[in-house]
Every structure is written in structure tokens, then in C-alpha cells.
Structure 1
Amino acid sequence: MALLQRFVQACSTAPPRAVIVDGPQRLPYPDLLRRSVGLGLALRQRDKSPDGHVGIFLPNCWAFVASYFGSLLGAKVPVPLNVLLQPGEIAYILKDARIHTVLTISMFKPMFEQLAGKLPWEVTPVYLDEMPAPPPGITPPPIDVLIGHEAPDKLACLIYTSGTTGNPKGVMLTYGNLEANYEGSSRVLDLGTNQDVVVAQLPLFHSFGMMATMIVPVLDQAPIVMLARFQPQQLLKTLVEEKVTALMLVAPMFGLLCRMLRAKPLDLSALRICVSGGGPLPPTIEQAWRAITGKDILNGYGLTEASPVVSNNAPGANKSGTIGRPLHNVTIEIRDADGRALPAGQEGEICVKAESVMKGYLNLEEDTRKAFTPDGLLKTGDLGFLDEEGYLHITGRAKDLIIFAGENIMPLEIENAILTFPGVAEAAVVGLPDETKGEVPVAAIVALEGAAIDEGKLREHLRTMIADFKVPRQFHMLAELPKNTMNKVLKPKLREMLMAEA
């Protein structure tokens, strides 16, 4: 069954418990369908953009869900926009995607007032909180109409990558891509057969949040509790009060919750499944979460270009230290620098073949060509290996590799070692130029509140865990690490900061 057909059926037949909790409001799924249809009909009339690309500039809220599916019901292509971007950054995306209409709310009026006149065409913001609710009798289009415009190769979403370097790229995801990733992710999360409650804490404008905390729970008829911002105390309060069973976060969020739960324990026994993605899961955080809550963190892996989930540990089949087995409908190959497939246990670039792999990058034919192997596999740029049991291990990012006097050093190994030292909250390692060695590893560290890090003792500690040449030549104590909205460390920016201090 295709994506929109699933949405219409899920909302039409949803049990009473299937609601979106957004502050004091509880929106039943049949009402979500009615509002989505109303938006879709309005977009058919209002939006005159040449490509049908419609911007969604919203925090996590029920309106985001209605805007996403409403755009699809209106035969448009939703383009989620990061609400933390500056006007110039938003202007770039609006121009690149030729967006004429943006669904938003009135709190963002100053943003669109600043954008007025800065594009070759007029961009019309539609303030959803100022629109009247659609009439009760509104119904979805007939199923045969939906089939007509949701062919597998037709665009269903355009997501701009976080852009750790240069301008963001528009990743073109089709109906077939999203349907395939829903099927694979749904099998792992298993929300449809459990009395689950999902919290949407990850930004829905990012692919991980969109798939894991919006598309999967909606299509599987699970209630969703919306949280617009990451406020750890509010998240913990929500987990307890709403009896949340499914928690999807990035590792730094789990780490912060661990520190708060140590200070003030809470009953989180309702949790059934905890998933980490969007970046490495340090063993220290994984172990602390298990010790405090009694629950495993199921680590997974993905990227926007794969819709996004590629692999994930599953309940009852969790292998600590790995990022799980590939989804049932995903094939992973490890390739060497010459493009040859490598056997189990050998490290190389992680390459992906799946129906969930993107159509390409918008307006970037050469970048699209470079993203694939000659035989059509997506090149992730990440290094790793498959073990004998088929679990994927990630060893680092190819671009982050440090070459020290001819020796390859992966920052992730050093970062995990640093995190085992008492008092360390966060750590990031980059390579800085060196006249004699080529590059040397340098570490940036954020200490726990009130902790003092003794550099000498830290060095001694690291020498018991890693080779001497991998021990960072310098340690920089920072108040915080530069990050994007998914809490990923911006290593190019960090490298610039540390070079300026050198």
C-alpha cells in the first residue's frame, strides 16, 4: 500500500487513543486527516509555484504533521525548513527549491518580513494559526486520485541536509523511498502491535525525526506527544506523565538525561524501546542509561540520502558497540578505495543499496553522480565493517580521518576513550596541521558542571587505552562544542576555532 493510502486508512480507522498531544490540545487522528485534507485543498488553489514545492517552517506541533501530509494530499512536495536558520540561510533554500508558499505560524512573521523583496519572486507565508478550521464534513480525495499522483518515483519530500560544510543540498526523496523506509523502520520499532506512546522530541524538519517520530507512528496509529524544544526537565516530565513507551533521541540527549536522573531518579518503567541515531553513541552513555533505567539503547545508523534509516539494533537482538543489522529491505556493502567489496571484518566505506536511497540532489547533477558508485550504490562517506553476524560497526567518517606520519587515526576511538575519564561530559577530536607529522590529533573537551580536568592524569589514562601516537597533542577546555540542530558536532568549525587558538 502506498504512503498516502496508508495515511488515509490509518487516520480513518484509528482507535480513540490515537491522538497528537500538543500542549493542552489532543488532536484525534480523524481530525488530523480532516485538517490535512483542508490544507491540501487550499494548497491546490493557492500555490502556483512551478515545481509545487511548499515550505514548512514550523516547530514540532500537530500543524507540522498536517502540513506535511496536507502538502502531499494537495499534490505538492513538502520542504521542511529548519526553524533555527537565519533569514539568509532560509532565502538560499527558498530560491534553490523555487518555493512560493510557506506554511508557518504567526510567531515567525518577523522572519518573513525580513525576507520580503530578497527573492526574484514573492514568497507567500500562510499563517496556519490564523486560518479557520476546515468544516466537519470535509473528506479525503478518492483513493484512485491519490494513486494518480503518488507514483513510486514521484517526489514526496525535499529535505536540505544540515550542511556541515558549504551550502545545504536538497535531498530528493520519492514516495517509493519513504514507503520503503517506513516498512523497514516499522518492522524494527513494532509500534503497530504494541500499546505504544511516542514522544516527538527530535526536530521533525530532520529526516530521523520525521521518519521515526512522525511517519512511522502516524501510519501505525500510535499516539505522539509533541515537544517543540529540547528542555530536559520537560522531556522527563512528559515521559512520566504521558507514560511514553518509545523514545528516539540522539546520544547527547541521552547523556544529559542520565546526569539529571542520577540527581533525581524517576520511574521510567513505561519505556519499551529507546533508540539512538544521528551520530555515535559513546559506550559511557549506553552503559549509564542501562544502569539508571534498566533499558538498552538500540543504536542505529542512517543518513538523509537513505530516507534515512539504514541499520538498527532491534529489541531482543541488540549487540552493544554496533549500529545493528541492515533493515530487512536494505543491502550494505563495505567497499575499498578501488570500489571492491570487502569480506566481513575488513574496514572500508559503507555503501548502501535500497529502495529507500534518494533520487538525487536537487539542481546538483555532478554531486549526485559522485554520491554513487558506478554500479549504483550510495557512498555514505562513513567507514566501518560488517562482522560475521551481519552487524554493522562504524569506525568513523572518512573526511575526519587524521593521518599522523602515515598512520591512520580515527577520532571516534579517541573520543570514546576520553569520555571514560571522570568529569568529562563531551569530547571531540580533530586533526590540525603539523610540519613534521602532517597532522596531529587535538581534543576539545566539555567538563561536567563543577568538574576540573587534570590534563596530566587524562594523558596517563588515555595511554592505558590507546596507542601513544593517538593521544591528543593538545587539550582545549570549552564551555560548549559547536553543533548543528541535531546535536552533531560541527568539526570544520571546531577545527577553525582550535587553529585560531594555536
Structure 2
Amino acid sequence: MSEIYRHTNYPGNMKAEVNPDAYETVVDLFNEKVKTWGHKPAFTCMGKTLTYGELDVLSAQFAAYLQNSTDLEPGDRIALQMPNILQFPIAIWGAMRAGLVVVNTNPLYTDRELEHQMNDSGAKAIVVYAGMAAQVLRLQSKTPIERVIVTEIADMHPPIKRALVNTVVKRVKKMVPAYDASSTVSFRDALNEGKKFSYRPVKTGHDDPIIFQYTGGTTGVAKGAMLTNRNLIANMLQSYEFFQISLNDGEETFITPLPLYHIYAFTVHGMVLMYTGNHSVLIPNPRDIPAFVKELASNEFTGFVGLNTLFVALCNNEGFQKLDFSKLKFTISGGMALTHAAADQWENTTGCPIYEGYGMTESSPVISFNPPTFQQIGTIGIPAPSTEVRIVGEDGEIQPFGERGELCVRGPQVMKGYWNRPADTESTIDSDGFLKTGDIAILQEDGYLRIVDRKKDMIVVSGFNVYPNEIEDVLASHPDVVECAAIGVPNEKTGEAIKVFVVAQNSVTEESLIAHCRENLTGYKVPKLFEFRDELPKTNVGKVLRRELRPTE
């Protein structure tokens, strides 16, 4: 292996290189494709479908509202905090058409997490699902947010269904805590206001950031990865080269259970499927498996994007097992490692194999993928076109084929850097432009990559990144915790579970620690396992040795 590896032996008619300059901006791409595919269905949610033409009109209305009825200027940040509902694609494309930078925000954030992200990004406005509006308003005075735009779950549906669904969600299911609506603007009112004005096209630069995608990185402090027009266009084209082996333009229907605020789902559904004129069926709450299965039963779907835990949960559902999978031909896995057991169970149930990929927020996100019909289960596939790879040993030496080392990648999909964090950027992207993934990999002679270990201490719970430092910081604020250390341990359901080793004073209980965590952490970050010890293993300078706490093979 030479110092830098570039894959050249791609299967089928895949190209080894893509042109990230094919479009100046993602809005240029959007403008072209909504005209090309205008009559085709773009997104469906709870039985309501938007065509590409309708998405064009509605997003232009939202852009016109932002330009004429707010003080927002091109380059300002706007947060989007919604589940998978039709308002998300309208809002994100409207915001980008207005020249704003989108800050994708997890609806599950606690007060502490949301406050940090809003302050760090400098977001001046937020489009938020009504169920989170009370939280946003409670924190507004502590953040730069000037305008809160609220949407209810069925806002894009016809009047009777809209009123019925929104009332049931609010009054019957009690999913919308009370909030002061007089301090907000409704999303529907914003669209109606936008009708009064003409949308004015805004030109952003090829290398201008258009999305801030927050990630913990290696420290646990949430940082905004700046993804540019060029990054997203490049990764869309790279992903397309893999997908086009199995997919036909304008003919596919993909199920969309993974959140669009996650860059993995947005790149697939918001970029690649738009580029190809294909259809996404949005699932607002994939944790409600019975409702999810009911939605699947009403759609003839050809593609499915998921992750390991979701595949297992569905395959264990009797209703899912009875569905018609005769049209399903393309299943993608990412976000967490795919187990052999889950891959086999899915293929036995649906008749469709799973194609696994690998990526990072910092790479927009796709780095590698298993080409359809050429997959190797247990690998993360081959590097994407126009992607260079190095396997670097602990001594900094480039490793040969078959030897372990940190996976480092360079390509047009690698982020511009972390927002306002030059030191973190410098430690993550080396002087040659290689992104250090923090994962230990082996490059096979056939070009397929295998992840064999994790250099970082990051824990992956159901596809979500959890950083031990953040867990430890929260627990350390408990008055009875002297010190603690968090690790990931294997878990059949979630891939990994969080286990915390605690040195405590007084008689603290697991229940009190869990309650403390729930006040400060999103649900998937709350530890499930605790072990109390008199002391933790440390280096001679006092650093806790997490590796000595991990279970041995």
C-alpha cells in the first residue's frame, strides 16, 4: 500500500471521481431538480404528499417570509427543531433559499443541551415543533433567539384532518405542553405572509457553510461542523454513484424513519433522492412500532434507510413480518455497526440484503459504502469516489494492507471546520487535509475497510453518539458523587449501553443518579448500568483509565 490509497476498481458503471463543482450551490441544484421532477411526489407524511413542484412553491413562500417579515440577513443562523414532518423540507429549503445557515437541532435536547447549541451557533430564529415550544420559550432570554416559529404536526394537511390530528395530539395524547403562543409566529401564518412577497434569490459561495451540524467530536463539547455547498454537493454525488447501481430515477419510494435533522438522513432523502426525483415517506415517530408498521402497510416501498436497532425491532414485530416486501430492493444501514445477526434477520424477513456504509458528521457524512450486490457484511465497504484514505499507526507511520491504524480520509466531503473552534479543527483535520476519524480500521487489499476498534471513547447508542466526558460532567455535579467514569458495553438492543463506575460519598442510589441525569441529558444519554467502587484505576498523573474498566473480550 502506498502512503495514500484511492480506490479505482469500482463495480458496475460507478465512476471513480465526482465533480463537486457540478453545481455552484445546493440551491442551484434544488432549483433545477424541482423543475425537472415537479409532478413527482417528493415527501409524504401521514397520508399527505407534497410534489417537488409544491415543495418549490412552499419553500419560496417561507424564504419570502424570512426575507421580508424578519430582520434575518444572509449568513444568519436559523435552528430547525422538528421530527420528520412535511414542514422540515419546506423550512430547510426555504431557509437555504433565503441565504441562511441551518442549525439542525435534536428535538430530544434537554434545556442545557439546547441552550448551549443556540448560544454556540448564534441562532437568531428557530422553527420548532409545538411539543418543544415551551422549552424554547423558557430558554429564549438566555440565547440569541429573537423569533420563534411554531408548527403543529399536521399543519400541512387539509383543514379537517389538520384540526383533528392537532387536537388529538394536544388534548388527548397530551404531547404539547402549554406555551405562550402570543410570543411566537405560527408556521402556517409565516407561509401565508410569504405569499404577499416575491422571493428574491440569494447567491451563497461554493465554499460558504450552509449547515451547522452539531457533534460531540472527541471532547464531548458539542461543536458545529460547518458543511458547505461544496461538501453537500460532493457527498450527494458520491452517494449517488453507489445508489445508482440499484435505483431508477423517478421510480423509487423510500421509507424515512431516521431524523432529517441528522446529516445521514438529510443527505440520503434531502439530497440524493431529490437529485434522482424519488419519493420519501416520512415517519415522525419510528419508536411507535405498531404505527410504523401500519404506515409501511399503506405504501409500496422499494427502499429503506435504517440502522441496526431499528432493523431488529421491526423484524421482531409480527405485523412487520406479514408485510409485502416484493418491491423492496435497497436497504441502507449506517449510524452504528451492523451486526451479522441483524443483517441475516432482515434478509430472512424481507428477502432484501442490507448495504452498510460508514461516515461522520464531519464528512457530510458518507466516507465509504458497500456497493449493492457487492457487499461484504462485516465491512464498511469501499471508499467513496474522490476519497483518499490513510491508515495511520500510533507512531504516525502509514500502515500496509491488513494492519490496524487510525482511519484518516481526505475528500471534497470533508467539512470546512468547526464553527469558532480553530484549535479543535486543527486537531481533527491535519495539515494535509486528512480528517482523523478516531476509528481504528484495517484496509483490505481489495479496498474494503473494516472498523476494528475505536480510538475515541465515544459510545454509540442506537446510532446516536454519546461522549463519556459529558456523562461524567453531569454526574460529577451530583453532590454525592466523588468521581465517575463512563464506558460503553455491548447491548443486543442498542448496540452499546452506557455503564458508569461511581465513587460516591453517603448512600447514593442508582435511582437518584438516573433522576439527576434525566434532568440534564437527552434520554439516550442517560446511563442504564451503574457499578459502585471505592476507587477508579488511574495513571500516575491521576487520569482515569477507562480501558481498564472495559470488559475483556
Shorter-normalised TM range = 0.7 to 0.9
- 1:399 and 1:48 map into 2 onto residues whose CA distance is 38
How far does the alpha carbon of each residue in 1:312-339 deviate from its partner, in whole angstroms, 9 at most, with x for none? 1111211121111111122222111233
How far does the alpha carbon of each residue in 1:234-290 deviate from its partner, in whole angstroms, 9 at most, with x for none? 333333321111111111111111212598432212111001101111111111112
What does residue 228 of structure 2 align with?
174
Aligned to 1:89, what secondary structure does the other structure show?
Answer: helix
One-letter amino acid of the counterpart of residue 124, structure 1: R
How far does the alpha carbon of each residue in 1:410-469 deviate from its partner, in whole angstroms, 9 at most, with x for none? x99xx9xxxxxxxxxxxx9x9xxxxxxxx9x99565689xxxxxxxxxxxxxxxxxxxxx
Match of 1:111 among 135, 138, 159: 135
Mapping for residues 4-15 of structure 1, pairs under 5 Å: 4-14=27-37
How far does the alpha carbon of each residue in 1:8-38 deviate from its partner, in whole angstroms, 9 at most, with x for none? 1211221533231111321111111111111
Residue 62 (structure 2) pairs with residue 39 (structure 1): yes
CA contact (8 A) 2:231 2:413 kept: yes
Match of 1:497 among 530, 539, 544: 530
Match of 1:300 among 348, 357, 382: 357
Deviation at 1:103, TM superposition (A): 1.6
Match of 1:71 among 76, 88, 95: 95
Residue 413 (structure 2) pairs with residue 356 (structure 1): yes
Aligned to 2:332, what secondary structure does the other structure show?
Answer: strand
What does residue 236 of structure 1 align with?
293
- Percent identity of paired positions between Structure 1 and Structure 2: 27
How far does the alpha carbon of each residue in 1:61-95 deviate from its partner, in whole angstroms, 9 at most, with x for none? 12111111111110111111100101221111111
What does residue 52 of structure 1 align with?
76
Q: Which runs of 5+ in 2 are unaligned?
A: 1-21, 156-185, 469-484, 495-513, 536-553
What does residue 47 of structure 2 align with?
24
Aligned to 2:90, what secondary structure does the other structure show?
Answer: helix
What does residue 475 of structure 1 align with?
none
Q: Which moved more, 1:385-394 or 1:287-296?
A: 287-296
CA contact (8 A) 1:330 1:352 kept: yes
- 1:110 and 1:212 map into 2 onto residues whose CA distance is 31
CA contact (8 A) 2:73 2:99 kept: no
One-letter amino acid of the counterpart of residue 219, structure 1: Y
One-letter amino acid of the counterpart of residue 229, structure 2: Y
Q: Which runs of 5+ in 1 are unaligned?
A: 402-410, 416-427, 431-438, 449-479
- 1:204 and 1:211 map into 2 onto residues whose CA distance is 9
One-letter amino acid of the counterpart of residue 184, structure 1: Q
Residues 320 and 17 from structure 1, CA distance in 2 versus in 1: closer, same or farther, beyond 3 angstroms? Answer: same
One-letter amino acid of the counterpart of residue 224, structure 1: S
CA contact (8 A) 1:240 1:268 kept: no
Match of 2:275 among 191, 201, 219: 219
Aligned to 1:315, what secondary structure does the other structure show?
Answer: coil
Deviation at 1:232, TM superposition (A): 2.3
Mapping for residues 244-283 of structure 1, pairs under 5 Å: 244-261=301-318, 264-283=321-340
In the superposition, the TM-score normalised over structure 1's length comes to: 0.77
Residues 116 and 194 from structure 1, CA distance in 2 versus in 1: closer, same or farther, beyond 3 angstroms? Answer: closer
One-letter amino acid of the counterpart of residue 39, structure 1: F
Query: Per chain length, whose mean CA-contact separation is higher, i.e. which structure has more relative contact order (CA < 8 Å, sep 6+)?
Result: 2
Mapping for residues 68-147 of structure 1, pairs under 5 Å: 68-119=92-143, 121-128=144-151, 129=155, 130=186, 131-132=188-189, 133-134=191-192, 141=200, 145=201
CA contact (8 A) 1:261 1:292 kept: no
One-letter amino acid of the counterpart of residue 52, structure 1: D
Aligned to 1:399, what secondary structure does the other structure show?
Answer: coil
Aligned to 2:142, what secondary structure does the other structure show?
Answer: coil
Aligned length in residues: 426
Aligned to 1:274, what secondary structure does the other structure show?
Answer: strand
CA contact (8 A) 1:326 1:332 kept: yes
One-letter amino acid of the counterpart of residue 268, structure 2: A
Residues 5 and 50 from structure 1, CA distance in 2 versus in 1: closer, same or farther, beyond 3 angstroms? Answer: closer
Mapping for residues 316-331 of structure 1, pairs under 5 Å: 316-331=373-388
- 1:338 and 1:288 map into 2 onto residues whose CA distance is 41
One-letter amino acid of the counterpart of residue 264, structure 2: F
Residues 361 and 152 from structure 1, CA distance in 2 versus in 1: closer, same or farther, beyond 3 angstroms? Answer: same
- 1:30 and 1:137 map into 2 onto residues whose CA distance is 19
CA contact (8 A) 2:249 2:277 kept: no
